[in-house]
Structures are given as structure tokens and as C-alpha cells.
Amino acid sequence: MCLSPVKGAKLILIFLFLGAVQSNALIVNLTDSKGTCLYAEWEMNFTITYETTNHTNKTRTIAVPDKVTHDGSSCGDDQNSAKIMIQFGFAVSWAVNFTKEASHYSIHDIVLSYNTSDSTAFPDAVAKGVHTVKNPENFTVPLDVIFKCNSVLTYNLTPVVQNYWGIHLQAFVQNGTVSKNEQVCEKDQTVTTVAPIIHTTAPSTTTTLTPTSTPTPTPTVGNYSIRNGNTTCLLATMGLQLNITEEKVPFIFNINPATTNFTGSCQPQSAQLRLNNSQIKYLDFIFAVKNEKRFYLKEVNVYMYLANGSAFNISNNNLSFWDAPLGSSYMCNKEQVLSVSRAFQINTFNLKVQPFNVTKGEYSTAQDCSADEDNFLVPIAVGAALGGVLILVLLAYFIGLKRHHTGYEQF
């Protein structure tokens, strides 16, 4: 018999990031008299849109905090479902159920509940009370098999967008030991998949990120588009080269769009493009709106693996690149260098991005990066011209003064 959640469940939190919001990895290990009976490790966050008292929509992204409870979680048996139940304080709870069959078990009834009466979590909400969103997805996994999915699984269930990734899961564990047999999710498999929001292409042989002393070729330009329902909401075209300095050793890595997956999300004030492949757990580009008139690249997060097996993880949410008016795109055909930190830079080639106000799935008129240079050169040119005029005025003054003084002495 499964022990009570208080005695038999172990829950560990690990600090990680997704996008602009802090997230914690959850590890739940439920045990019974034989040992582990349910094991789950995963990460998740939710973006919730709600109406405010001033008749506008506001979004709130909720990630796993550093303190959660798991009351109601249970191992289950041949007659009873297993379940994991997570509570994020007063405002949010999340649950998933597992049903055992003869040769497999099903993962189903993923339910998120949130309470808009919590003014801290949902300030100025009009509709107070508990709201529930049920995810209709149903996964079947053979018994004595662990289900794994490193790719981001995104579900747009209006008014909530749910993101799950880094999943390692086995319900109804046999003989108290987590299985070494794996079932990998479709997004991680070597097949081409087309689905809303998440786009996956066939990966090829893993490329090792190693130190380099020879010139690296220009990266292939990739095209990335994110959809919100049936509408394209973010467009990006760019070649990407990652420059990492680890213990004073430089690494250069070109991103191959043919072997790179991408996903993302669009909100009124922010947008996200996430890339991942066999080498990169995630590379996030987070865009934001400023002054209701312009957009810019506000944040970059990366988590990837180096040749020596170590992980490289950098986040910077205080950037200001690719600034352009809303309703337009930003373009830069020449090579640009984005300095994310002292240890991490991104070189971009043939860049074009539009994270907001995309019309008919096409780029709008672009603001070219050369305009930034022109804007920088104009004040320099004006300052130089004014300086020249000032010098001429001073020379004329001193020459006139000298002539006047000389004439006075002769008199």
C-alpha cells in the first residue's frame, strides 16, 4: 500500500529558468513498502490572461515557486488511479492522473486551477473566484517504461498557455525501482513533426561544441515563425553563431536550423522565441514593448552542453537590442554582435525579426540597423561642424584684436 503523501513523498526543487520568469524543476518520488512507486521530474509554467477592472486584458506568467505542497498525491494500484497534485499557495493548484491497464498506463486529466480572488497574483481581476482549465491530452506509456521529453510541450488552452519540458516520468513503478527502459516523446524523436506553436525538424548527428582556433564558417540562415492559434504572431530570420568563453577557452558554435527545434509564445507586452537541439537545452530570445510604441530584445537565456560534458548557463534580462517601432520589423544584413555577458556573445547574420503586430504572416516595413549608425553619426557631424565654426570665430576675433592693438600703438 502506498504511504501517505506526508510520509512517502519526497519533493525536491531545483533552480532553473524559462524565458523571463524564474522556474523550479520538480522531482516527486512517491514510495511504498517496496520502494519507489511513482517517479516524476519535470518543469512547467503557465501564462494566464484575465480581464481587469479598467476593461483591459492583463497577463500573468506563473512558474513553480520555491515552496509548493503536494497534498493528495498517491501511488495508485490495479483498482485506483495514481495522481500527482501540486499546490502553489492559495492561488494555483495543478494535478495529473494515471490509470493502469493490463500492459500500459495512461497519463490524462491534467487540470490547472487558479483563483483570481488572490489580488497579489491577479491584481484588478474582474471575475473573482476559482477557474479551471483541463488539458485534453492523453498519453499512453507501457508499464515498466519511463516516459521522457526534453522538448517544450506547449498547449494554448485559452485563456491559459501551458508549457512543460524536461519530463522524466514513470507511474506504477515495478518492484520499487525506476525502469531503465525509455519511451521518448514524439518531439524528441528523429521524425519530422508539424504541430501548432511547436515546430520540429529531423535532427542529424550531434555536433560537438569544442574549442576552436580556426575560422568558423558563416552560419546557415534559419526561418522561425510562431503562431498564436491560427495566426502568425512572431517572425524571425537569422543566422546564429554562439561564442562562449569557458575558463579562458573560446568555443564557437553555429546553429543549424535544419537540426534545431523551435517554439514560443506571444503576449500583448512580450514575446518569446525558444530554440533547442541535441546540444542546446534552450536558447531564449525575449522581446518586450516599451512606451507602447516600440519593441526591443530585452532578454536572452541559454542553457547548453559543452564538449567536456559541463553545462553552460547564462541569463541576462537587461538588454536593449533590435529596437524598432511597433508595426514594423527590424533588419540587419551585416554581422551583428550581441554581448549577453562577458562569457557569452551571439553573432547574427542576415537578421530580420518582428515579434509583434504581424499581418498576414508577413514582415512589415523594416527599420534597418544602418539607421542606428546614421542616427549616431548625425550628432557627431553636427558637433564637428559647430566646433569648426567656433574655431573660425575665435581665429577671426584674435586676428581682429591683434590688428586693432597694433594700429593703436602706431598712433
Q: State yes or no: pLDDT of 369 exceeds 50.
A: yes
pLDDT digits (tens, 9 = 90+) for 311-349: 888 889 999 999 999 999 999 999 999 999 988 999 999
CA distances from 173 to 79, 127, 145, 168, 294 (A): 15, 42, 8, 13, 52
**Which residues is 285 bridged to in the sheet?**
273, 300
Domain 221-368, CATH among 2.40.160.110, 3.20.20.70, 1.20.1440.230, 2.40.37.10: 2.40.160.110
pLDDT digits (tens, 9 = 90+) for 185-207: 877 763 333 333 333 333 333 33
3-class state of residue 6 by DSSP:
helix
What is the CATH number that goes with domain 26-184?
Answer: 2.40.160.110
Give the C-alpha separation, 229 to 156, whole Å. 7
Number of other CB atoms surrounding residue 389 within 10 Å:
10
From-to residues of CATH 2.40.160.110 in the chain: 26-184, 221-368
Among residues 190, 174, 189, 104, which one has the least CA distance to residue 139?
A: 104
The DSSP call for residue 359 is B
Q: State yes or no: pLDDT of 217 exceeds 50.
A: yes
When the pLDDT of each residue in the chain is averaged and rounded to a whole number, the result is 80
Using a cut of 0.75, tell me whether the model's pTM lies above it: no
pLDDT-based confidence at 89, cuts 50/70/90? confident
Among residues 42, 35, 37, 32, which one has the least CA distance to residue 12?
A: 42
For residue 123, how far is the Cα from the chain centroid?
24
